[in-house]
Amino acid sequence: NRMPAAPDGRAITFILDRDGTENVWKMPLEGGPPAQLTGFKFASSTFLSYQAFSLDGKQLAVARTNFTFDIGLISNFK
């Protein structure tokens, strides 16, 4: 799912590629600027193929895809 709702239901999240590096962002449904949730800083031959929040909304898991899958867990994001 490339655009799931944030756990609080007040924003949608999406994957945005800037300068060859993909990160997860959220856009408030009530308006305002988007906020970057992940901090990948290097371009790679992989892309973010999936994102999912934990049930409590405190963690975000992302899958980076190429020909194989790498799964990361990101904690303490804002």
Supply the pTM of this predicted model: 0.70
Q: What is the pLDDT of residue 69?
A: 60
Q: What is the pLDDT of residue 70?
A: 67
Radius of gyration for the alpha carbons in the chain, expressed in angstroms and rounded: 12
pLDDT tens, residue by residue, 35-54: 999 888 876 666 787 788 88
Contact 23, 36 (CB under 8 A): yes
* Cβ-based neighbour number of residue 59 at 10 Å: 15
Ranges of the chain with pLDDT below 70: 1-3, 43-46, 66-70
Rounded Cα distance, 6 and 45, in Å: 27
